[in-house]
Structure 1
Amino acid sequence: MAQTDHDSSDFATLQRLADQRWTCRQFTTEQVDRATVEQLLTLAQRTPSWCNTQPWEVVVTAGEGTQRFRKELLDHIQTAGNAPDFEFPATYEGIYRDRRRACGFQLYDSVGIAKGDHEKTMRQMVRNFEFFGAPHVAIVTSEADLGIYGAIDCGLWLENFLLGAQALGLGAAPQAALASYAPFIRDYFAIPDTRKVVFGISFGHPDTTHPINNFRTARAPLEDQVTWHTS
């Protein structure tokens, strides 16, 4: 079947959003109005999931709710160790280490952190738990019994959320770092023990004047990621 102009236009729009999407690491203090946040969440709700289980449940903060959560979490991380519900990567080797380091160097270079400056590096790491100044945070959880596939479905939800935010002119930062303090988050938001914290998202209006928002990460060429079998 020949591709229609409509199909081509839709794909071009999706391609543009995917190409232009970036991780925002500095936000303005301006709140996003409730109707816009609900529009974004409604889009993400269209995400497909295994057997249509829709395992994601989302806590969203705004206003004083964000400020209080930020303060309490910062206080908590001063004395508590990491306790994620899902194991973090054991190690990064080969190309995965190279890509991770390249991203880190771009980030640190953008804000003038020299290699080996552990004090400034640690300060930048803590910015994760300040939500990069974002006025809103979303905490995404999945039902524990659904295991890794519930988490995968939440990852699909995340992609739709991120593309929706890009389409609305908002900035967003998906953060595994927040999930590293899962017991605290569950307790703070009264989330049942039967749910696992998968990730958080800081979001709001991006501060486009801040240098940390000016770099973009690269993507590997298709031939590095795809193997074709045609016979």
Structure 2
Amino acid sequence: MKKDEWLYRLYHYSSYFNYIIWLFEMNMLFLLMNLPFAVLIFILDIRLGTLPILYLSSVTLVPSTYAVIRTLKDVTTEPKVMKNFFIHLKIGYKRLLKLSLILLFFLWIMVGNIFITAQLPRLQVLFWLNILFLLVLITFTINFLIVMANWKQTIKETAILTIKLAIVKSIRSNLNFLILIGTFILLKLFPIYLLMFGASVAILLCMINFKPVIDFVNREIEEAA
């Protein structure tokens, strides 16, 4: 009996070790896909003149984030991380490139507005409004990608469902942004962990937070069937 218990514990801990490897692999793939943006964001100052090049270099962010979410969702049953990541990345580019360009356009417009209004004390209201809109946009985007990874819908249907869930399950939906920021602040204290696991851990925590919302929708679908 003790031997069986020991083997069970060993298996249990090995599954955690597998997750560490998977998260590391996905984080490296995510960084690889966004390498131009990652380099530019470190070497360039964020100002009006650099916004266009930052915008163009960031178009990979949304499809690659979707690829991480979709790969993480099925990683226990389909553990071939690299293969699945690139499969979902290809799907992400096909379905999300146009939407990504639109979302990131508005994101960098808001960043530009924040940069301008921060220099003008009279426009502090606009400064905070742009920060609020930026938070809403980032939260909507991550929630949208999680919803898209869970159900086969059109882009329009996915957007509508994401908005509905932001109203019905507002706490869970809006918590994802705090999770993203909190994860990066904590990991920034240990730069090596931020480099190795930052993006993939942040995305995984957002998915865990959003799991009750996914379960809620699935129950509604089952009851309606």
Q: TM-score range by the shorter chain?
A: under 0.3
Query: As a proportion of its length, which structure holds more helix?
Result: 2
Q: TM-score of the superposition, structure 2-length normalised?
A: 0.25
Q: Kindly indicate whether structure 1 or structure 2 has the higher relative contact order, using CA contacts under 8 Å at least 6 residues apart.
A: 1
Query: As a proportion of its length, which structure holds more strand?
Result: 1
